[in-house]
């Protein structure tokens, strides 16, 4: 995200939280004449209302308000770029939203001993920035040839299913570790313990008991059951049992999630033949030599 910011420059970007966009009537004014709105580590509840975000990402006309000035209408083309450790929950579950979502995975977790604390400085030298700009111009040319449609595009139906899972890790945990059925149950204490172990191993924040209960009570009934030796009585969730597969709670499923992300993009075979070809751009006599300028 810092590389994005440095590449665009301070005058060409802003950082307006999604909640500000929805709740602050002056927030959209900050995005006028900006190329991107870059926000790091948004909260999982940021998208409770996405009306304004949809307008911004759909190039709809939006009202701009500035302090002590008359409001006016304008279309903004500021690209919305957010990072998060947990997908925000969205109440509006429509194709209009899911076709706007592009998920980019950041799968690598670098060991502290291998981190380069000066990497950003190395990537933002003048030579490196020239190389990155040159690569962007090459991609821009390809996009122009393809009528500005990406070769790989979103399958809205798969995206809706995936988004619901990633924005609700409890649902994902149940799908992977439980089986629904009549006259079956799991202990509430055991469900909470297994769930939070699974969340830790899959790089999700753990869930408080109140959050777990709020979700589970909408889906399943509670009851009392005695322990297996017939002694103490425990609270249980009715309608679930543990799957019989080998317990994989200690495994890292992050790459498994990445595989799911890859399945939501469909190949647009119709773009094999370029349209509206652009005359080659040759602003420089030779390509800048940098780590960004490598042959495919």
Whether residue 108 lies inside any domain: the answer is: no
Q: 173 and 88 in one domain?
A: no
DSSP-assigned letters across all residues of the chain: -HHHHHHH-GGGEE---HHHHHH-TTGGGGGTT-SEEEE-S--TTTTS--HHHHHHHTT-EEEE--TTS--EEEE--PEEEE--SSPPP-S---HHHHTT-----------GGG--TTHHHHHTSHHHHHHHHHHHHHHHHHHHHBTT--SEEE-HHHHHHHHHHHH-HHHHHHHHHEEEEEEEEEEHHHHHHHHHHHHHHTT-----HHHHHHHHHHHSEEEEEE-TTS-SEEEEEEEEEE-SSPP-TTS--HHHHHHHHHTTEEE-GGGGS-BS--PPP--SSS---STT----
What is the pTM for the complete model shown? 0.69
Tens of pLDDT, residue by residue over 69-127, are 999 999 999 999 999 877 888 878 888 888 888 888 776 777 888 888 899 999 999 99
56 in a structural domain: yes
- Between 139 and 249, whose confidence is greater? 139
What mean pLDDT do residues 43-64 have? 84
| Residues of the domain holding 22 | 1-92
205 and 61 together in one domain: no
Domain count, the chain: 3
In a domain, 119, yes or no: no
Q: Do 145 and 175 share a domain, yes or no?
A: no
Tell whether 116 is covered by a domain.
no
pLDDT tens profile 152-173? 777 788 888 888 878 888 988 9
């Amino acid at each position: 995200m810092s590389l994005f910011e440095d590449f665009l420059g301070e005058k060409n970007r802003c950082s307006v939280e999604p909640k500000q966009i929805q709740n602050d009537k002056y927030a959209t004014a900050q995005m006028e004449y900006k190329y991107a709105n870059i926000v790091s580590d948004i909260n999982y509840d940021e998208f409770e209302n996405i009306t304004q975000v949809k307008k911004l990402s759909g190039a709809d006309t939006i009202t701009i308000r500035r302090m002590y000035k008359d409001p006016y209408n304008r279309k903004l083309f500021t690209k919305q770029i957010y990072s998060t450790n947990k997908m925000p929950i969205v109440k509006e579950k429509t194709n209009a939203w899911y076709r706007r979502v592009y998920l980019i995975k950041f799968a690598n977790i670098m060991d502290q001993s291998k981190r380069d604390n000066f990497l950003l400085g190395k990537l933002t030298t003048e030579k490196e920035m020239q190389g990155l700009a040159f690569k962007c111009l090459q991609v821009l040319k390809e996009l122009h040839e393809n009528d500005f449609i990406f070769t790989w595009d979103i399958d809205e139906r798969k995206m809706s299913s995936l988004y619901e899972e990633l924005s609700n890790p409890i649902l994902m945990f149940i799908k992977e570790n439980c089986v629904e059925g009549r006259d079956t149950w799991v202990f509430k204490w055991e469900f909470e313990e297994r769930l939070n172990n699974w969340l830790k191993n899959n790089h999700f924040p753990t869930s408080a008991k109140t959050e777990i209960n709020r979700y589970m009570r909408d889906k399943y009934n509670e009851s009392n059951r005695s322990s297996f030796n017939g002694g103490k009585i425990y609270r249980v969730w009715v309608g679930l049992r543990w799957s019989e597969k080998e317990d994989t709670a200690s495994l890292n499923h992050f790459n498994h999630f990445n595989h799911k992300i890859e399945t939501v993009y469909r190949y647009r075979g119709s773009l094999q033949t370029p349209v509206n070809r652009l005359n080659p751009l040759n602003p420089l006599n030779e390509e800048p030599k940098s780590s960004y300028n490598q042959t495919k």
